[in-house]
Structure 1
Amino acid sequence: MGREAVEALLPHRGHMLMVDEIVEIQPGERAVARKYVRDDEFWCAGHFPGRPILPGVLMAEALAQTAALLFTSQEGKAGATVYLVGMEKMRFRRMVQPGDVLELEVTVSDTRHSMYTFQATARVDGQRACTGSFLATVDKES
């Protein structure tokens, strides 16, 4: 599912939409998505000039948006706002540069009331680029 499907499920737009494609989704359980890292992205000129490297915080954001897809892909939840409230043990293990395809995999590991815990891994060419867990909540209006 391409960018149009992603936009139907997430409220993010413009430079802050960090997921380009949904590869696989099991609503409420597991999602795999992709981000195509391009050389025209806003961070390339300054991080770092002459050798652009995707900032780790943007890798984490791409994983968090993939986690949000697990909630918004459930029936009647498209467009709901999922708020990131915590990250644990985030590790950045590999540089990611323009031309790379970042594969984003997220699974739900715990649900308590309106709080969700996700385990997340980003890979490039099968190598781990980022790992960690997220804690998120959903807007009560959603």
Structure 2
Amino acid sequence: MSDTVRPLPNIRDIFTLLPHRYPFLMVDRVIEFQPGVLLRAIKNVTINEPFFQGHFPGLPVMPGVLILEAMAQTGGLFIGQSQDEPLGDRVFLFSGMDNVRFRKPVVPGDQLVLTCTEARRKFNLWKMRAMAEVDGRKVAEADLSAAVVERSAL
């Protein structure tokens, strides 16, 4: 991981680093990045999200598993941007979660601030700490692991 200052990834970089697209792309913008140290991104939660139709009618709450997915995608950006070489034809696959805690419901109108830190690598496996906040209050946290693998191996 290089200590060189890099510009913040924009939406085109996000599309390059993550294979996700609507309606499953859960990161709107990167707002802070320090290679190998921290990546902070946002997800604007709107009533237009397709999952709110059924979760729950009359009481829209963002599913915890999608908050976790947003944290995992933030981790993918963190690792993808922190490596000295581009991912190329490799993909970042979420492989595990530990110490997951959901602290507060996320509802339409909230802005999730997603932070990944403490990246550690062993071979092609990465581990990191992730957190989601709304208005400065922690809504979820987890220890995440993922593997960087060749796309052709899938």
What is the aligned counterpart of 1:107 among 106, 113, 117?
Answer: 117
- Normalising by structure 2, we get a TM-score of 0.85
Alignment identity in percent? Answer: 39
What is the aligned counterpart of 1:119 among 129, 143, 147?
Answer: 129
1:92 aligned partner: 102
Matches of residues 26-105 of structure 1 in structure 2 within 5 Å?
Answer: 26-73=34-81, 74=83, 75-77=85-87, 80-105=90-115
Matches of residues 126-137 of structure 1 in structure 2 within 5 Å?
Answer: 126-137=136-147
Matched to 2:72, the amino acid is A
CA contact (8 A) 2:75 2:116 kept: yes
Matched to 2:109, the amino acid is G
CA distance in 2, matches of 1:45, 1:2: 30
1:1-37 deviation digits (Å, cap 9, x = unpaired): 5433321321111111000000111233310000000
CA distance in 1, matches of 2:88, 2:54: 34
CA contact (8 A) 1:122 1:130 kept: yes
CA contact (8 A) 2:93 2:147 kept: yes
CA distance in 2, matches of 1:59, 1:77: 24
Indicate the SS of the match to 2:114.
strand
Matched to 2:129, the amino acid is Q
CA distance in 2, matches of 1:78, 1:54: 33
Q: Kindly tell me: are residues 78 and 128 of structure 1, through their superposed partners in 2, closer, same or farther at Cα, counting changes over 3 Å?
A: farther
CA contact (8 A) 2:71 2:130 kept: yes
1:23 aligned partner: 31
CA contact (8 A) 2:89 2:151 kept: no
CA contact (8 A) 1:9 1:79 kept: no
Larger Cα-atom Rg: 2
The farther-off stretch of 10-19 and 69-78 is 69-78
- Normalising by structure 1, we get a TM-score of 0.91
* Alignment root-mean-square deviation, CA: 1.8
| Aligned residue pair count | 142
CA distance in 1, matches of 2:80, 2:62: 26
Indicate the SS of the match to 1:53.
coil
